[in-house]
A and B are shown apart, each in its own frame.
Chain A
């Protein structure tokens, strides 16, 4: 298994543009998490899904952020419109039955 796969690895975009980040969790993992990593705030939980259903999105900063999980093997995090303060590394993680989180390599977003 290649682990959790995220794309793109790097994205540079201009303010106002739409950004879509993608995640493929490890097969068989029923929970999926999206985190945002910044120097000031560390890893912030944005949203998580259980069995493809969003359970808690209270960490989503504002309406510009949305996340979907149409099936067990794919999730997206969308920012529309993007702003410079959204610049961060976005991580996706899936949770095994033993409770361990497995992280992707992250998507580094820069909004100019």
Chain B
């Protein structure tokens, strides 16, 4: 069963434009949600998690339990934001991490 859905495989925006990467999840319990990012030639790494409620590199993500979504947003995209982004869900107390299929973001100069 698909637990994390990222509907866009590819997303291109112009520098300075707002960007939103969509993520929807299906899980009946209380999930922990994360965004991981993989920059070119770098390891996959944590970008942010919903429980910390912080902004990292200008990105924010709000957990919407009603819509079961955890979209990643940034008001003004920068060229260095070009990367592969994965939404991830951790089942409560389960230690099982499930990732979406990823969205490749390209910021056009």
A and B found bound together: yes
Q: Which A residues are within 8 Å of any B CB, using their own CB?
A: 3, 31, 33, 35, 40-45, 48, 50, 55-56, 91, 93, 95, 99-105
Main SS at interface, chain B: strand
Q: Classify chain B: how many residues form its interface, as a range.
A: 10 to 19
Q: Chain A residues with Cβ under 8 A from B46's Cβ?
A: 100-101
Give Cα A100 to B95, complex, Å.
11
A45-B99 contact, Cβ under 8 Å, with A91-B44, A103-B43, A103-B44? yes
Q: Chain A residues with Cβ under 8 A from B95's Cβ?
A: 31, 48, 50, 55, 95
**Do B86 and A42 touch across chains, with their CB atoms under 8 A apart?**
yes
**Do A42 and B97 touch across chains, with their CB atoms under 8 A apart?**
no
CB-nearest residue of chain B to A55: B95
Report B37-72 CB contacts with A as 1/0, cut-off 8 Å.
000000111100100000000000000000000000
Give Cα A96 to B43, complex, Å.
16
**B32 is an interface residue with CB less than 8 A from chain A:** yes
